[in-house]
Amino acid sequence: MFGNPVKWLFFILTSYLALNVVVSMNTLLTRKTYIVQMDRSAKPEYFTSHLEWYSSKVQSVLSEPQEEGDADEEDRIIYSYETAFHGVAAKLNEEEAARLEEADGVVAIFPETKYQLHTTRSPMFLRLEPEDSTSVWSEKLADHDVIVGVLDTGIWPESESFNDTGMTAVPVHWKGICETGRAFQKHHCNRKIVGARVFYRGYEAATGKINEQNEYKSPRDQDGHGTHTAATVAGSPVRGANLLGYAYGTARGMAPGARIAAYKVCWSGGCFSSDILSAVDRAVADGVNVLSISLGGGVSSYYRDSLSIAAFGAMEMGVFVSCSAGNGGPSPASLTNVSPWITTVGASSMDRDFPATAMIGTGRTIPGVSLYRGQRILSTRKQYPLVYMGSNSSSPDPSSLCLEGTLNPRVVSGKIVICDRGITPRVQKGQVAKEAGAVGMILSNTAANGEELVADSHLLPAVAVGEKEGKLIKTYALTSQNATATLAFLGTRLGIKPSPVVAAFSSRGPNFLTLEILKPDVIAPGVNILAAWTGDLGPSSLPTDHRRVKFNILSGTSMSCPHVSGIAALLKARHPEWSPAAIKSALMTTAYVHDNTHNPLKDASATTPSIPYDHGAGHINPMKALDPGLIYDIEPQDYFDFLCTQKLTPTQLKVFGKHANRSCRHSLANPGDLNYPAISVVFPDDTSIKVLTLHRTVTNVGLPTSKYHAVISPFKGATVKVEPEILKFTMKNQKLSYKIIFTTRTRQTIPEFGGLVWKDGAHKVRSPVVITWLTPLT
């Protein structure tokens, strides 16, 4: 049929190779966005501005225009960076980028990276008094001068959480502006929302022009995420806040007197690094004191991570940077935003819940949670047919996951359907069930979620249950010919024990980029958080949800991050002289590691005690952080010296050193010697090394005259000695140093965890301690 097979084989092979050549050439010539970092000090004098020089560099590497009217260098440059970072974002093909990387004055080039969002009772739970109380938090109006920049999806300015009644004039140091656009005008900014900007050039370069009919090309928030995080940071008190009657009470941000500057960097198709970098650069120039960034990408080397580099520049300018740890838990080493100059925040639960129950035909009542409040109510006096579309109770399949188009209406109509978690959003499963005619849904956790329950505002009566109870219900539905159930919704319940608990979704350590830097730093409330919401989207975020609410309840490290950002704003207001590292130290060394039953913090994914890879230094304790006693301070040069221990080349180090013309002092014997509040020692795979010594320096921010003594927990695999064991301070801001000597007794196959506490009778300055023995190569 094909004639000579050899001839056909030759034809197919040559066609394949030719196609590959065409594809490769297209790839080389396709323009993408690259972030170009420049050595600011290398600008020749004959250029009148840095931007003129940057433009000249880009122009010098451009390929010959292929067509009349092709983009020139003006079109190629989409951003210039001038404060936390120096350089441009430009549209280049691979060949042009490679040529530019070799040019004089170019420090580094980063390809565009896509980031994702990490998606009222918390002030009380954190023991923050109401704003009108006589507590130490409301003694002064100093917190009115603190400005928090929120990088997110924008802001819904009409929310009562952004009311500026009673606020003083905008701080004189503020240089930001209120950008206008569709449905967002100058008057939408006030003394609470002091600035609002949009960053979309990188997004449009990657995905095409924004459809302005479907999306606001302005600071207005269509998604809700940015409004929620901004209100969590610094929302004004709103009495009677609730979601469909749930969580009724006064909603307020962590720092209700602080100002908000909204930087919209995330759009319907994601968040892009060139836009994020421009927002950080602009925010620092505008005069923010704190940056709250509830988004992240994957982990890459310090010198290849544009957000890490921008955060380093912000830190150099005295700006505290708080980032979410990510929602990749409970998988180990799932963290993002792990640089030591960033405060990395994991998520925990609070002592508030939204109980609901599933009562099955056997008479058993299964506990769960839900935020359902709709017109369709199931009678608790009646049982409804129950169906599970999976084949067994342990292994989910497309039908059991209730994916789009997998439920047969003839099978599920009029019944309560059991759906397994996974693949699609939880609320979307309910929508699929509703469209197939189901009267209700039981949402079952799988092994990945364990027993952690996250409440959702479903579109049909639905209850979420844990993995064990889910298996029980599924087995019942599969083995009983006439399985039945009904659902009940019990409102809001307070005083839940144990709490807090580390959220199962919260990303975990270890930090494989640098084991000596323990991450996350702290955990904060991130489960079922009530805060302001957009007026453009229902509480489930589904397009079919036509309900409109002023507040919504969300979960994620996106919610825990702004808690820490807000507390950092309060600390900055009370201690304006504190560096970002000092604020982080105060949060970490005063964090607690026991729940409200006085037992060690638990891990929701396993109901076993959590470890520092899960909770970092512990759960934030704002009142204690106000007066930490001692702090571990870190200067920008110290962070640079830490980078000098990371086996980076001189060219790679330039990425961080050019702003202040830094060079390595070789002051750290190893990465663990960075003056970090957490202590992590790593014994190499060379078994002959049995003794390692780490060094720390503490600054007295308590009473001028004080005496601290050290208490170290015992370890099986090593003896740990602190020298000196007593620190005597005679003045405020005095610095004293100590060393910790680790001597291996028996190498352990898994890390060991403990703690070091410095006590003076009034303060307990606690550092988590981790000892790791690397496995010898065989």
For 467-607, where are the alpha helices, taking DSSP H only?
Answer: 467-479, 557-574, 580-589
**What DSSP line would sit under 541-567, residue for residue?**
--TT-----SEEEE-SHHHHHHHHHHH
Cα 349 to Cα 502: distance, rounded to the nearest angstrom? 7
Residue of 225, 228, 563, 619 marked active site? 225
Q: Which tokens belong to 667? A: 């002051």
For the chain, how far is it from start to end, CA to CA, in angstroms?
57
CA-based nearest residue to 369, from 359, 384, 354: 354
CA-based nearest residue to 527, from 335, 336, 346: 346
CA of 738: how far to CAs of 104, 360, 590, 645, 699, in Å? 44, 61, 19, 21, 12
Residue of 499, 558, 565, 605 marked active site? 558
Please tell me whether residue 689 adopts helix, strand or coil conformation: coil
Phi and psi (nearest 5°) for 759? -120, 140
DSSP category for residue 63: P
| CB neighbourhood size of 466 (10 A) | 21
Cα 502 to Cα 330: distance, rounded to the nearest angstrom? 10
Give the alpha-carbon dihedral of 529, 534, 535, 541, to 10 degrees. -70
The answer to whether the bond into 776 is cis (omega within 30° of 0) is: no
**For this structure, is 536 an active site residue?**
no
Cα 303 to Cα 768: distance, rounded to the nearest angstrom? 27
Cα 400 to Cα 474: distance, rounded to the nearest angstrom? 10
Beta carbons of 526 and 559 less than 8 angstroms apart: yes
Sign of the alpha-carbon dihedral angle for 298, 301, 305, 310: positive
The number of angstroms, rounded, from the C-alpha of 318 to the middle of its chain's C-alpha atoms is 21
Cα 384 to Cα 474: distance, rounded to the nearest angstrom? 15
Cα 559 to Cα 294: distance, rounded to the nearest angstrom? 8
Residue of 39, 143, 145, 152 marked active site? 152
Give me the count of residues in the chain.
778
**For this structure, is 594 an active site residue?**
no
Contacts 24+ apart (CB under 8 A), 492-496: 492/246, 492/247, 492/248, 492/352, 492/353, 492/354, 493/352, 493/353, 493/354, 493/355, 494/121, 494/351, 494/352, 495/351, 496/349, 496/350, 496/351, 496/352, 496/353
CA atoms within 13 A on the CB side of 172: 0
Specify burial of residue 22 (Cβ count, 10 A radius: 0-12, 13-18, 19+): exposed
Q: Which tokens belong to 663? A: 């060079």
Active site positions, annotated: 152, 225, 558
